[in-house]
Amino acid sequence: MKRILITGGAGFLGSHLSEKLLKEGNEVLCVDNFYTGSRKNIHNLLDHKNFELLRHDVTHPLFVEVDQIYNLACPASPIHYQFDPVQTTKTSVLGAINMLGLAKRLKIPILQASTSEVYGDPAVHPQPENYRGNVNPIGPRACYDEGKRCAETLFFDYYRQHQIDIKVIRIFNTYGPKMNPLDGRVVSNFIVQALKGENISIYGDGTQTRSFCYVDDLIDGMVKMMNSSQGFTGPVNIGNPREFTMLDLARKIIDLTGSESRIVFQELPEDDPLQRRPVIDLASEKLNWKPTIELTNGLVKTIEYFRDTLQAEKEIQTLA
């Protein structure tokens, strides 16, 4: 049994990671300031004897005793990270400094949940880990993109200077149950709009592409990276290499929900990447990892979650 700290533990990914680590017999210390995380995500874990919740902001130091650290804390959707861009950058940078300091004191492994956004609007496609990216450092997305890039810098500087056992993964688009219906991400947007019978909004002409990894696959890769041999630092791409256009995704969700929603087109936001697909050869070689859940199967589970969530909200509104 290990005692494992997860920052951002009440978020979409953090809550799924908490569940997996508890099922494996570990103790989990979930740390979250609930800026974007939700108690609803971890409600089923609150009575678990090996689960502990601590309300804390990682921009401030934390003094606890643990065996591993997963650093997931940071708003990850454009709506949330652009709402308070200064705080977003502080969360990535100061959060990394504080968690690395804790790992240094305790001499324990620490994993950084980085992002495919470090590649920006890529000029190389698909994206291998040695591609250095095409990021606008002064654009509206820079608080997240450059914050995560700086966090990676800090991780590797601590590794070289203090011999910290670091693990860095770059997460590509991930979806599944417990996503926030209002987080502005494409999968949740399309599903909610389809279930409500609203127009489905596509930004740009719909030919831009993304690769979608189901959350269970992502969490499996994350845990494998943490438990990989010491000295293997990454960064490692964790994502699904199958690529879909926004039009493909919208039509698939309309079909799976049985919706009569229409597709409408809106202006593409500034610096929105036109292509995004990971090269996962390194994850396959070093971690024996690859995604196993096809998009259709994952979407069915995600749609079921959102249908239940929207129905519950409707019932609450009716009672009120």
Active site residues: 144
Strand partners, 27: 3
User: Coil, helix or strand for 89?
Assistant: helix
| Beta carbons of 99 and 69 less than 8 angstroms apart | yes
User: Coil, helix or strand for 69?
Assistant: strand
Q: Which residues contact 145 (CB under 8 A, 6 or more apart)?
A: 115, 117, 118, 120, 135, 136
User: Coil, helix or strand for 203?
Assistant: strand
Q: How far apart are CA 25 and CA 2, in angstroms?
A: 8
| Beta carbons of 74 and 10 less than 8 angstroms apart | no
Q: How far apart are CA 274 and CA 17, in angstroms?
A: 30
| Beta carbons of 130 and 76 less than 8 angstroms apart | no
Copy the structure tokens of residue 33: 């300031």
CA angle 281, 287, 292 (to 5 degrees): 75
Longest pairwise C-alpha distance within the chain: 59
The DSSP code sequence of 218-232 is: HHHHHHHHHTSPTT-
Torsion from C-alpha of 113, 17, 78, 124, nearest 10 degrees:
50
